[in-house]
Amino acid sequence: MNTPYSRPFSSFPAAPWRLLITEAASGAWNMAVDEAIATLAARGESSPTLRFYRWQPGAISLGRHQSVNEIDLQRVRSRGYDVVRRPTGGRAILHIDELTYAIMGPQDEPRLAGAVLDTYNRISQGIVVGLHRMGVDATKAPGDKRAGPDVSPVCFEVASAYEISVGAQKLVGSAQSRRGGYVLQHGTLPLHGDIARLVDVLALPSDQERQALRQLTAARATTLAAVLGREVSFWEAATALIDGISTVLALDFKQQELTAAELSLTQTLMHQKYTAPEWVQRV
């Protein structure tokens, strides 16, 4: 286990934030909710928010600029998965058997202000502290670590700056977007299951390449159950991360629900953007 944590961000005054724990939903709904909250927070109409959620059915999410041609849509459909495109960057993720977090707020909120990597570092520190309290020897990647130009379509193959690993294996993948005065960062903590399942739906030229990438992904990424030797529930993981994030960022969370304005904007974004072929199927 790492040395005991000392708070590098303790200069923040205590502040109230909203906590949302929403029901499992489709990929389009989940992405629309995140953007709706972020958009309204930038206008001062929603509170800075930490949200935890799940996906039903399981979904492949593509990074904002990733080509849909990197996945095999026939394979995706045969497994019953959704396909959605995130508003954030990065590579493909299979959202199943996991906890997903999202943090949304205005860019002038002190915890979200500054350079992208500064915010990333603060949030990652909170997640690391939460993982430590579950007994996970988690660490952040160095701030200067970047994915190389030959990176595969798999998000979890390699950890980038301040992403979270256990030993040599990536555990938490995250991405951030800053638009229209807001900060939106979301990420995924795989709880259990086959971490290499995503490879089965990628558009790859041969079974040999698929098997090789499967083995590489399994070697470079992991799940919470594999680390701890036991299954961890969504609620146990969420509780630990709330504890870590509130400690590091000096936050007082109040659990609430989506507002009427957020639900209305979510519906608009879901139908006009996140289910629209021109967004989802971009190449």
**Which residues participate in catalysis according to the annotation?**
155
3-state secondary structure of 55: strand
Q: Measured in whole angstroms, how far is the alpha carbon of residue 168 from the centre of its chain?
A: 20
| DSSP element (H, E) containing 83 | strand 82-85
Provide the phi-psi class of 90: left if phi over 0, else alpha when psi is between -120 and 50, else beta: left
Tokens of 146: 């970047």
Beta partners for residue 52, in sequence order: 21, 101
Neighbours of 112 (CB within 10 A): 24
The closest of 113, 123, 104 to 42, measured between CA atoms, is 104
